[in-house]
Amino acid sequence: MGQRIYLDNNASTPLDPSVLNLLIHDQSHHFGNPSSTHSFGREAKARLTHARDLVAKYLGVRPVEIVFNSGATEGLNALLRGFLQAKPGHVISSDVEHSCVHTTLKSLNLPTTFLKSGLHGAVTPKAVCEAFQSDTQLVTLMAVNNETGVRTDLALIAELCLSRNIPFIVDGVALLGKDKIDLHPGISAMCFSGHKLHAPKGVGFSFIRSQLKFPSIQTGGIQEHFRRGGTENISAIVALAEAVNLLHGVLPEACQRMEALRDRFERDVMAQLPFVTINGAGPRIANTSNLALGDCDGESLLMKMDMMGLAASHGSACSSGALEPSRVLLNMGIPLKQARSSIRFSLSRFTTEEEIARAVEIVVKAAKA
């Protein structure tokens, strides 16, 4: 079968070699608890502080506004549950959000407007503006849709929220490492996961603007500025900070390269399979391609491609294990048959031209089989 090709980087990414080396070294040589006062603890605290400084510097924020956690699912739960339990009221979101937001909001049983994205793939500032009510307490949207790659106009929506003094919480998972991040003053918080940008699984962070006040839902010690009790996973945090710090040197060239490879992939597949269409009409992030492959069955296609050495997905990794049609695509208004035939291909900065050429061959062969 030859070398396997991995085009499911929106589900998870391989570790950057320098991140892996740092992780191994830290695990091998350091074990102190940063809350301890002896030399081992002080050393751990210094490494934690340095990691926080690196992440804050990349985002252009204050270190105190960075909270390390296990990833964006935890971060968004902490923000949404903590804030809305303290200030219940009307919420504005969309029906194409990741399940960690969509399911959490459903469970809170608060009046929530789930805006439609339509075939564009992201809600518009106009729709958000029209959804504001007198008791609106929060707006929460994703920066980039993890299934289609379609961007949300964060700047304009943030301006709307800022003018009304309404907090705006953003799922930034699919944005970090794929483009620069501009934290508009109207963005109150943004959450990220390490394993989406060549860092380890099980570690992430939230940017939480100092003005956003809410009680912690994970109580315990004083860790993470009282935002997240529990001993910090120092080695993973150090590795995550290295992955973020590397972005200074690899962007924007890596984004341009991913976009060129993604466009080549789509062009070459559609040249040989004219019935293929792209899901999501709005502007997209550099690395994501969600293709509807005509009358093909997506589940069967995934299995065929996997057997031929190409890994892709049916949608979000949190739900694609069931191999059911994507909730996101269906909520966009895409017909069931088209949603069933849809496959997400997502590149990383390590994806090669040779892999894309071979991936085109596999997709075409699998679709014609």
- Strands 288-293 and 276-278 turn out to be antiparallel
Assign residue 202 a region: left if phi > 0, alpha if psi is -120 to 50, beta otherwise?
left
Q: Check: CB of residue 52 under 8 Å from CB of residue 63.
A: yes
Q: Tokens 């499911």, residue? A: 8
Instruction: List the alpha helices (DSSP H) in 34-144.
Output: 39-59, 72-86, 99-108, 125-131
Assign residue 67 a region: left if phi > 0, alpha if psi is -120 to 50, beta otherwise?
beta
Question: Is 255 annotated as catalytic?
Answer: no
Q: Which residue in the list 129, 191, 296, 318 is annotated as catalytic?
A: 318
- State how far the Cα of 283 lies from the Cα of 120, in Å rounded to an integer: 9
CA 221 to chain centre: 28
Q: Check: CB of residue 232 under 8 Å from CB of residue 34.
A: yes
C-beta atoms surrounding 360 within 10 Å = 21
For 104, 263, 272, 296, 362, the CA distances from 365, given in Å and listed in that order, are 40, 19, 10, 12, 5
Instruction: Give me 100's structure tokens.
Output: 């960690």
Active-site amino acid positions: 318
